[in-house]
Amino acid sequence: MSPASSNLTPQSDTPLHTVLVVEDEVLVRMVIADYLRECGYRVYETVNASEALAVLQSPEVSIDIVFSDVQTPGDMDGFRLARWVRANKPGVQVVLTSGVERSAEIASTLCEAGPLLKKPYPPQDVVDRIRQLVAKAKRS
């Protein structure tokens, strides 16, 4: 899917930062993406890690934060996506989320702000985590 697709169009005029939401459950993705937009973020949405890679590799798009479910359909899960981001996009922060509790230990090694957010999560927790990442990046 190309960044020009309708579900990848940024919605905010003056974004704080750009967040890539990777979530295959459409209602979950819509709720968090809409909430992030309301909070002033530019948001791109993808269904899986393959689509996320296309956005991350697009020269027209600059992503600050990847917010991804651990379990995504396709060849690459959220952990592999996070590893790819760390290896290829060092300035991009990663937040992982999962409904599977054992995922937290693995996520703690891949996410700059510690373990993942457990599903179901309140949307404000996502914004708080993003703010932590931004503040930490500014101090570095």
What is the value of pTM for the model shown?
Answer: 0.80
Residue 140: what pLDDT?
72
Q: Delimit the domains of the chain by residue range.
A: 6-139
Tell whether the model's pLDDT for residue 5 goes beyond 80: no
Fold type of domain 6-139: Rossmann fold (3.40.50)
Neighbours of 26 (CB within 10 A): 11
Give residue-wise pLDDT tens across range 79-132. 899 999 999 999 999 998 887 665 555 655 565 555 567 888 889 999 998 888
Q: CB under 8 Å to 105, separation ≥6 — which residues?
A: 115
Q: Which residues contact 87 (CB under 8 A, 6 or more apart)?
A: none
Confidence check: pLDDT of 3 > 60: no
